[in-house]
Structure 1
Amino acid sequence: MGWGTLLYYSIADAQQPLRADTRSTATNKHSGGGTFRLDINALRALSVLAVLGYHLKIPGFAGGFVGVDVFLVITGYLMTGKVLAELAAGRFSLWSFGMLRMRRIYPALAVVVISSAIIGWFVTLPGEYLRHLRQACYALVALSNFAFDADNGYFAMAAQTKPLLHTWSLAIEWQFYIWMPLVAALIWRRALPSKSRSNVMMGAFLAVGFVSLAWCLWQSHSDMMGSAFFSLRARAWEPLAGGLIAVSEFQRRRENTPGLPWLTAPGMAIGGWVLVAACIIYPLPETHWPGPLTLLPILGAALIVAARHQADGRGLLGLPFIQRIGDWSYSIYLWHWPIWVFALSWLSFRGYDVNAREKMLMVSASVLLGAASYYLVEQPIRKRRVFWTERRLVSSASIVFCSLIAFTATAFLNNGFPMRLPEYLLAAEEARRNGTPRDECFRNSNSAKRAAETYCSFGSEGVAGRPTAILWGDSFANQYLVPISSAALRNGVHGLIATQSACRAFIDDPALNSGDQQPCREFNRSTMDFVLGRAEPSIVVIGSNWGSAIEISALVDRLLSSGKTVILIMPLLNVGFDVPQRWMENQARAGRALDEWKVEADPVLTMSSLRAEISKILDKYEDDPRLIAADPFPLVCEHSHCYLVRNGQSNFRDSAHISNVNATQYTGMFDAAFRLAVQATSKATNEAD
């Protein structure tokens, strides 16, 4: 995910204007009143092919995710121009504008959403199917960006398991279609007579765009969850870049003033094409996108749109193939991602590699289905308005949405219809559930959590409610909360939870930790201050995804020298692949349940080098009873093999984290560790007295 496993980048088609049934390429009109721009249609074609190539990992499209940004510039230009033309003509209606957008977007989207739900019935596991149906409902009401943002945590499903992930960008467009016309209409009707309406609108759009860009740049550095990716607040400046060009052109036409000759020079357009192409080819960093580098494709797209070079199609941009891809781009975009997700799942389950042939078949299927959708769905509904009246269109959309809601509710009541699939696959489905223990207490990468208290509690109530222990670390510590809580309760230990996603426990050092995220550094500083600033908690349980023992040694030294008792959770395994997914694939190929799966305990799997370094730390303190190792390794591995699956249950929920269904097997380990820790703490207290 660039940022995690995300790499979810998708595009939204900047909607094409309604064309006449019979058109000449030079004289046909936008619904807003301008000539049809074949250069924009060509830019649309390039963008959809870029995203298609990026998602299918085709060489030459390393930065193809910028297609979404290019499309947003196009949609901002076209829709702002249309709204201004309607306002100037005195016939603008928010309802009519919304219906035009609905007529353009909804039918093809509904076909893809319903098709994905039908296909998912046959190939999707119950838990994933429920998530897919819920996301489908959000997609049909233009709120899927919020749904996918909420599902964008450290344990969120991989992008390749979300067939409708790409609809987040359509949601952003719809939200732009709501507020932009409202602002434009308000300014148009309220602007002072002495002021030029277009000047006021230009100033308002510039102000909103500047604030959005500033927010985007700030979020790209401060938001570790990547929420800006799905946020209109962080992306509004992108369609407004196109909108400002439309306002400027509108203003020049009304005032009959010449444009800037240098801006419309062929060299500017060529520079824009080169810049967009370079962004598509070059492997731009996906993390913290959108951000400062997003300015590059936006600038390139804006130069192309503003220059109007070969707008009449006299040249390469007017080639029939390019124009047809531009025509079909919205439907290609809608179909390409579900095709990729479902095909990848089918091939993976059967043990096939995704090579060049398979990728070309997926590209062909995306283009063919896109063309079919354009001619069979998009065009008939846009053209046959005598039959597809506004009332019939709204009624049909309502029926589709209500039917999907009813089916989704039924699916939730029936737990995703598990009877659809072989029963032996359900254990793997249970193991890969994404919920982390005490999720409300587990901080995200921005150091935020749902629970109000600073530290949630676990175990017993303790003496007068005072905490005697604290669990400190990242998800590799938090994953043991169930057995830790049970063991703490048995030993009368009242504990606190101090865990944060993707944030290993360390002593913050300005020089050594300058590369770590600021929220993580602040979290570790505050936790260390809390632990060392009082006698209780006296027991510190630490666990993390450490890369070296140096940080562990420094942390243990500091805690022990401060009089604390330390329970060090040893690393388990680094499998390197999704265990439940691979287990499902193996069972599907075998056609039966596989209740046991063990692999050779090689040094990479067991992280033997790191374990050896940690053992040296333990040896250094072998005479100090206040350092206690909690090692889960012997519970999973024996002799020369490690069990990924045992007794019909997976030991892991992904490639490294233990599964919730099998977590109780570690209760005895923590029970013994807490007994020793309580004894060591009592002894140290007595000696001090």
Structure 2
Amino acid sequence: MTRETLRPATNLRRLVRPPFVLALALAIAVTLAVQPVASSTAPGRTARPEATASARPVEPAAARQELPWLQEACGTSSASMICRVTHFPRRPWLVLWGDSHALQYTIPLRRAALQRRFNLVVVFSGGCPLSLPYPAAAGQPRMTCDKHNVRALAYVQRLVDSGRRVRAVLSSWWDFYRHRYALHRRALAAGVPSPLDTYERHIVGLGVDRSRAMFRAIGRLGVRADVIAQSGTPPAGARPCPTGAAPRACGYERRAVLPREASNRAWLRQLSSSLAARPLVIDPSPAYCTRSRCFGRRHGRTTFSDWAHLHPAATRSMGRYFRPTVDALLATR
């Protein structure tokens, strides 16, 4: 199948600075078992990379076992990618954009794309927040995450400039970046060494200081975008589950699985105010949590795959939470 041609992005300088020198990036290991997409030219069954970036790759053995669709569907095991998962000519485009907390929702969105016939593109870089690079005057290093986000924004702009109907779904490990950044700032204020290394300081700084710049840039493109609320993670240091139970299968208090939830939600509202229109907030947490408690296993499905991600068995059942976004995408003319 020939690559679909998109017109070059225009006026990109008003959104971001030019791409920067590439450096090594840290990829968060993701435990997903997405079923491979068949390699075919039939509409809705083609998945291929729109572009690739040189980044530290996922360990090949892990990629085959945990992320088979990176190779089977997208033809790459890179930790930084822009991959078109389904192909429906003249149909709208949904861009799932973020780090591994976005990637984990590929399963329900791919299913929806095949059923309702729209183009799904996954824009992913592990351990990379939705952000734009620091201004040159800030003296910050330029790393792979910076380059990836500049590429991603340029790609979405090309979609818009070529007349596609586009909607984005934005997701990130919001709490991780904010919490780690706060730890770093507290250490500085106390005059003690930061618990973060140089790379992690840069990444969490992007996640807090430079996310608004990215949201504003997306807003200037005029792209309608929705945001996925904080995803649950099993609490670090929690007591082991009872003997005989699977790891992370027991329940936890909601505030342990979704720490600082109210603060994160308020912060997302502030970020989202820069978008072109009021976004939908997609919150799948009712699938595994009540108001006070979250479950490591619910309705026969395992909730967590590791200390940082939801299990495919759980996300596979979350399509209903994305239905309003898909309805809005398909209603656009």
TM range (shorter): 0.5 to 0.7
Task: For residue 602 of structure 1, give the secondary structure of its aligned residue in structure 2.
Answer: helix
Structure 1 counterpart of 2:69:
438
Cα distance in structure 1, aligned partners of 2:108 and 2:137: 34
Aligned 8 A contact 1:473 1:543 in 2: yes
Aligned 8 A contact 2:133 2:146 in 1: yes
Cα distance in structure 1, aligned partners of 2:306 and 2:77: 20
Cα distance in structure 1, aligned partners of 2:265 and 2:120: 27
The match for 2:221 among 551, 562, 566 is 562
Structure 1 counterpart of 2:241, which letter?
Answer: N
In structure 2, runs of 5+ residues without a counterpart are 1-25, 32-53, 179-207
The match for 2:314 among 635, 657, 662 is 662
Cα distance in structure 1, aligned partners of 2:140 and 2:97: 21
Structure 2 counterpart of 1:519:
144
Structure 1 counterpart of 2:267, which letter?
Answer: E
Task: For residue 66 of structure 2, give the secondary structure of its aligned residue in structure 1.
Answer: coil
Q: CA deviation at 1:226?
A: 10
The match for 2:265 among 602, 605, 611 is 611
The match for 2:250 among 576, 586, 597 is 597
Aligned 8 A contact 2:27 2:56 in 1: no
Cα distance in structure 2, aligned partners of 1:537 and 1:514: 38
Cα distance in structure 1, aligned partners of 2:66 and 2:138: 30
Aligned 8 A contact 1:569 1:629 in 2: yes
Structure 2 counterpart of 1:458:
85
Q: CA deviation at 1:530?
A: 1.5
Q: CA deviation at 1:576?
A: 3.5
Structure 1 counterpart of 2:29:
155
Q: CA deviation at 1:443?
A: 5.5
Summarize the Cα distance change of 1:629–1:434 in structure 2 as closer, same or farther, 3 Å threshold. Answer: farther
Number of corresponding residues:
244
Summarize the Cα distance change of 1:595–1:649 in structure 2 as closer, same or farther, 3 Å threshold. Answer: farther
Cα distance in structure 1, aligned partners of 2:104 and 2:221: 27
The match for 1:645 among 293, 297, 303 is 297
Structure 1 counterpart of 2:96, which letter?
Answer: L
Task: For residue 487 of structure 1, give the secondary structure of its aligned residue in structure 2.
Answer: helix
The match for 2:233 among 574, 588, 592 is 574
Aligned 8 A contact 1:462 1:494 in 2: yes
Cα distance in structure 1, aligned partners of 2:306 and 2:69: 18
Aligned 8 A contact 2:27 2:127 in 1: no
Cα distance in structure 2, aligned partners of 1:506 and 1:621: 13
Task: For residue 586 of structure 1, give the secondary structure of its aligned residue in structure 2.
Answer: coil
Aligned 8 A contact 1:491 1:671 in 2: no
User: Higher relative contact order at CA 8 Å, sep ≥6: structure 1 or structure 2?
Assistant: 2
Task: For residue 637 of structure 1, give the secondary structure of its aligned residue in structure 2.
Answer: coil
1:66-117: CA deviation from partner (whole Å, max 9, x where unpaired): xxxxxxxxxxxxxxxxxxxxxxxxxxxxxxxxxxxxxxxxxxxxxxxxxxxx
Summarize the Cα distance change of 1:476–1:514 in structure 2 as closer, same or farther, 3 Å threshold. Answer: farther
Cα distance in structure 1, aligned partners of 2:115 and 2:322: 10
Aligned 8 A contact 1:596 1:645 in 2: yes
Q: CA deviation at 1:475?
A: 1.1
Q: CA deviation at 1:593?
A: 7.5
Q: CA deviation at 1:514?
A: 6.1
Q: How does 1:577-588 map to 2 (within 5 A)?
A: 577=236, 586-587=241-242
Structure 1 counterpart of 2:105:
480
Summarize the Cα distance change of 1:678–1:551 in structure 2 as closer, same or farther, 3 Å threshold. Answer: farther
Q: CA deviation at 1:666?
A: 1.2
Q: How does 1:230-309 map to 2 (within 5 A)?
A: none
Cα distance in structure 2, aligned partners of 1:611 and 1:595: 25
Structure 1 counterpart of 2:171:
543
Q: CA deviation at 1:534?
A: 3.6
How many percent of aligned residue pairs carry the same amino acid?
Answer: 23
Task: For residue 168 of structure 2, give the secondary structure of its aligned residue in structure 1.
Answer: strand
Structure 2 counterpart of 1:474, which letter?
Answer: D
Q: CA deviation at 1:508?
A: 2.5
Summarize the Cα distance change of 1:156–1:559 in structure 2 as closer, same or farther, 3 Å threshold. Answer: closer
Cα distance in structure 1, aligned partners of 2:275 and 2:143: 35
Please state if 1:553 is matched with 2:206: no
1:340-368: CA deviation from partner (whole Å, max 9, x where unpaired): xxxxxxxxxxxxxxxxxxxxxxxxxxxxx
1:407-438: CA deviation from partner (whole Å, max 9, x where unpaired): xxxxxxxxxxxxxxxxxxxxxxxxxx961362
Task: For residue 470 of structure 1, give the secondary structure of its aligned residue in structure 2.
Answer: strand
Cα distance in structure 1, aligned partners of 2:28 and 2:329: 31
Summarize the Cα distance change of 1:552–1:490 in structure 2 as closer, same or farther, 3 Å threshold. Answer: farther
Q: How does 1:402-417 map to 2 (within 5 A)?
A: none
Aligned 8 A contact 1:636 1:643 in 2: yes
Summarize the Cα distance change of 1:543–1:515 in structure 2 as closer, same or farther, 3 Å threshold. Answer: farther
Aligned 8 A contact 1:488 1:671 in 2: no
Q: CA deviation at 1:621?
A: 7.3
Aligned 8 A contact 2:230 2:258 in 1: no
Structure 2 counterpart of 1:644, which letter?
Answer: G
Cα distance in structure 1, aligned partners of 2:237 and 2:256: 19
Q: CA deviation at 1:629?
A: 1.7
Q: CA deviation at 1:594?
A: 10
Q: CA deviation at 1:550?
A: 5.4
Summarize the Cα distance change of 1:487–1:516 in structure 2 as closer, same or farther, 3 Å threshold. Answer: farther
Structure 1 counterpart of 2:286:
634
Aligned 8 A contact 1:443 1:501 in 2: no
Q: CA deviation at 1:156?
A: 8.0
Task: For residue 477 of structure 1, give the secondary structure of its aligned residue in structure 2.
Answer: helix
Q: CA deviation at 1:484?
A: 1.1
The structure where strand makes up a greater share of residues is 2
Q: CA deviation at 1:223?
A: 6.9
Aligned 8 A contact 1:630 1:670 in 2: yes
Aligned 8 A contact 1:153 1:444 in 2: no
Summarize the Cα distance change of 1:226–1:540 in structure 2 as closer, same or farther, 3 Å threshold. Answer: closer
The structure where helix makes up a greater share of residues is 1
Structure 2 counterpart of 1:483, which letter?
Answer: P
Structure 2 counterpart of 1:287:
none
Structure 1 counterpart of 2:49:
none
Cα distance in structure 2, aligned partners of 1:434 and 1:675: 33
Summarize the Cα distance change of 1:531–1:577 in structure 2 as closer, same or farther, 3 Å threshold. Answer: same
Structure 1 counterpart of 2:40:
none
Larger Rg: 1
Cα distance in structure 2, aligned partners of 1:595 and 1:497: 28
Task: For residue 472 of structure 1, give the secondary structure of its aligned residue in structure 2.
Answer: strand
Once superposed, what is the RMSD of the aligned Cα atoms? 3.8
Structure 1 counterpart of 2:67, which letter?
Answer: T
Q: CA deviation at 1:482?
A: 0.6
Structure 1 counterpart of 2:122:
497
Aligned 8 A contact 1:596 1:647 in 2: no
Q: CA deviation at 1:516?
A: 6.3
Q: CA deviation at 1:495?
A: 1.7
Q: How does 1:208-223 map to 2 (within 5 A)?
A: none
Structure 2 counterpart of 1:456, which letter?
Answer: C
